[in-house]
Structure formats: C-alpha cells, structure tokens
Amino acid sequence: MTRILGVLCALSLALSPALTEAKPQKGKAAKAGKKEKKEVVKQASEQTKKAIGELAGRYKWGMSSQQVIDMITADIKKSYDEKMKKTRTPAEQDRLRTEMNADVTKLRDSLVKFDGQKTSWDISLVDKEFAHRNSESMMIYWEPTQRRFLFFFEDKLWKQFIALNAELFEGKTFKEFADMVASRYGEPRRVTSTDIRGKEVLDHLEWPPAGDFLLRAVDHTNLYGNYCLVLSQKSILDGMDKRRADANPDKGYKSGIDQVMKGSKSDKGDGNTDVVDQITGKQQAKPRLAEDDDAPSTPSAAAADSDDKPAKKKAPAKKKAKPKPKKKK
C-alpha cells in the first residue's frame, strides 16, 4: 500500500505543473482553445498501441469461451503448483488443492448467456455492455488487482471490460484519473455530456483505433467505486448496433455505452437500462414518450393490461324480487 501511495504521489507531482499553469482564457483565445480541444486524433500513437497490447494480454479476439477457460485454468493450476512446492505438509497441500478447484469452478460457473432470461447482471456495473437475444455471453475472472469481464458474441471473444482496483484511485476525480491514464495510454479524447442539472460533465474517454482495438475509459465510481477500461473489437462493434436491433425488434433497441462514441442513446425499451445514469445524474431525464399517454392510470386497468385481456365490465346487481302477498282464506 505504501508503494502504491508513493506512485500516486509521484504521478500527482508530475501532473501538477500542467494543472497549475493552466489559466482560464478570455475572448478569442478561449474560443481558439475550445476549438483545439474538439480536434480528434484519428491514428493511435505507438505509445497507445503498445499499452493497449499489454492491457489485452494473451486474450485474442475470436477465442471461444472454452479456449479462454482452458487458458485461465492452466494459469490457475500453475500458480497453485508453485505454492504447493513451498509447503511440505499433506494437510496444507490438500487445502491448496481445494482452493484451486474452487477457483476453477468459480471461473466456469461465471459464464452466463444473455438469452432473454433475467440475470443478476441486468442492473450492474456492466449492464450497458451487452444485450439479450443476440448470441452474447460473458465470463468473469478475478485477477489479483482487478476484475476482468470477458464478452463473447456467437461464442467469440470481442470485448474486455476491466474494473480497476478502487484503492489505486481513491479520492481521485475522473479528470485526475484521465490525466493519470493519459500518461500511459496517450492523450485521449475527452467526451462530455450534460447531466440532469444542465451541467456539462466529463462523460468518458476514448482513444483512436489501434488496429482492430478500440479503447475507452468510463467512470462508475458513484455507485460501484470503479474506474473502468474497455477494449472492444472494432470490426464487431461497428455492426453491433444493427445486430442488437434486429435481435430485439420488439424492444426498439438502441445500443448502450459501446455506442456512446456514435452518439446514440440507451435502450428505451428496457426500463432498467439507464437506472444507474438517472441516479447518478449523468444522463438527462427521459422525455415523456407518446405511448405513455395510453398507459393505464389505475391498478385494476394495469392488471388487466398485464394479462393481455380487456377489462370486463361488472354486471349490474340483480334486484331482489319482492315477496308476494299471502292470499286471505
């Protein structure tokens, strides 16, 4: 921990001159500065390419889920073999074998298919990284200092979502985080959005394509405590929006955060899609949709609609027949 804090302090000191020297500009100078910020670097630098390659690691686009499981399982077993060599007691070796088997089982069991059934990930850190009914699946691997979410399309790896260790960036704003990662991955494009208060905020970071890799950084610290790096396969991402729409015609699907780069909104067909954004205030409140005017206003009508049956009208109560007078004898 002391070493980590030292690294953070060093990075802060390295960045502080640039931050303190920056002064607000006025008039034409300010406009020129704004124009310069909007310029987009279209080609990734060698620094960016190298850093992205290191982030991707041994995971290659197109690997099947089974290939990934086999590769990680071999890594797990290798790490435990080294631990077992350092112990001589049979009881300790048995304990390590039990832990190893549990880690392998945890990896295999983490594989989830998004086939339309509700999952625990539908409202989560990665809820905008996938869509149902589109041959998509996901696997999670807990690394020593971070979580790596591996996404598959038609059982081929196409995206990695890395939730960074929260302790490394504790107390850092997203702007400060942006400066820190820029020192490793090169200067990103800083994309802003307007929150529900009408305030312009830093939304996400994105880097120019590096071959078939696209890198972006997102802020999930408000609810989940993590800054995250996302690597996507550009050739798959380019057509993912249409594939998801075709797979979900009844949902009016529009892609989630992967398509932020293209300026599209979240899925209006899923009421849970932007719950997190609305809570954190990073997305404007949804406009009232025309179809909302047809929504039932009473619980009884809502229940009738949910059964897809028209509400039955109650029959008027029958009047009780008056007793006939008794005949006099």
Please tell me the distance from the alpha carbon of residue 237 to that of residue 258, in angstroms, as a whole number: 8
More confident residue, 253 or 263: 253
Structural domain for 78, as ranges: 66-109
pLDDT at 176: 94
Q: Walk across the sheet containing 226-233 and list its strands.
A: 112-113, 136-142, 146-153, 156-164, 226-233, 213-220, 200-206, 189-194
Residues 97, 167, single domain; the answer is no
User: What's the predicted TM-score (pTM) here?
Assistant: 0.66
Residues 150, 73, single domain; the answer is no
Dihedral (C-alpha) 305, 308, 310, 313: value to the nearest 10 degrees? -70
Where residue 316 falls among pLDDT bands split at 50, 70, 90?
Answer: low
Q: What is the pLDDT of residues 223-243, one digit of tens each?
A: 899 999 999 999 999 999 999
Residues 86, 230, single domain; the answer is no
Sign of CA dihedral 324, 326, 328, 329: positive
pLDDT at 223: 86
Residues 95, 147, single domain; the answer is no
Residues 124, 270, single domain; the answer is yes
3-state secondary structure of 283: coil
pLDDT at 287: 30
In a domain? residue 143: yes
In a domain? residue 314: no
Tokens of 199: 């305030």
In a domain? residue 193: yes
Residues 282, 247, single domain; the answer is yes
CB 219 within 8 A of CB 277: no
pLDDT at 166: 87
Q: Where are the beta strands (DSSP E) in 114-271?
A: 136-142, 146-153, 156-164, 189-194, 200-206, 213-220, 226-233
In a domain? residue 7: no
Residues 78, 149, single domain; the answer is no
Q: DSSP character for 298?
A: S
Q: What is the pLDDT of residues 249-261, one digit of tens each?
A: 876 554 444 444 4
Residues 209, 262, single domain; the answer is yes
In a domain? residue 128: yes
Determine the average pLDDT of the residues in 111-121.
96
Residues 73, 148, single domain; the answer is no
pLDDT at 41: 59
Residues 122, 265, single domain; the answer is yes
Tokens of 279: 């809570």
In a domain? residue 33: no
Residues 134, 282, single domain; the answer is yes
CB 109 within 8 A of CB 73: no
Count up the domains in the chain and report the number. Answer: 2
In a domain? residue 231: yes
Q: What is the pLDDT of residues 27-81, one digit of tens each?
A: 444 444 444 444 555 789 999 999 999 999 999 999 999 999 999 999 999 999 9
What are the respective helix, strand and coil percentages of the chain, to the nearest 5? 45, 15, 40
Residues 85, 221, single domain; the answer is no
pLDDT at 299: 38
Tokens of 131: 């869509």
Please tell me the distance from the alpha carbon of residue 64 to that of residue 134, in angstroms, as a whole number: 16
Residue 20 pLDDT exceeds 70: no
Determine the average pLDDT of the residues in 198-222.
94
Please tell me the distance from the alpha carbon of residue 310 to that of residue 319, in angstroms, as a whole number: 27
pLDDT at 325: 59
Where residue 115 falls among pLDDT bands split at 50, 70, 90?
Answer: very high
pLDDT at 324: 57
Q: What is the pLDDT of residues 160-189, one digit of tens each?
A: 999 999 888 888 999 999 999 999 999 999
In a domain? residue 218: yes
The count of other CB atoms within 10 Å of the CB of residue 308 is: 6
